[in-house]
Amino acid sequence: MIFIINNLNKIKKIRLSIDMRVSENAATKVTYKTVWVAGPSIEHTKEILPTKAIIKNLTS
């Protein structure tokens, strides 16, 4: 019984480590492959503009 509990604890630790790595990569290595977007255009995004400025750029 102790053998099973020890193995379960090891599995939980490994799983936690994997999840933490995935979360860290998602937060620090943002690309169009790791963030859901409508397409790979995120690579060309240099700044985040307010909607009003985007509409002004499109209509002028």
14-23 tens-digit pLDDT: 999 998 988 8
Q: Are 42 and 32 in contact (CB under 8 A)?
A: yes
Look at residue 33 in the predicted model and tell me its pLDDT: 67
Q: What is the pLDDT of residue 39?
A: 63
Instruction: Determine the Cα–Cα distance for residues 9 and 32; give it in Å rounded to an integer.
Output: 35
pLDDT at residue 15, rounded to an integer: 92
Name the token pair of 13: 């630790």
Q: Per residue in 29-44, pLDDT tens?
A: 777 666 666 666 667 7
CA distances from 48 to 1, 28, 41, 45, 54 (A): 55, 18, 13, 8, 9
In 1-60, where does DSSP find H-type helix?
2-28, 51-59
What is the predicted pLDDT for the residue at 7?
84
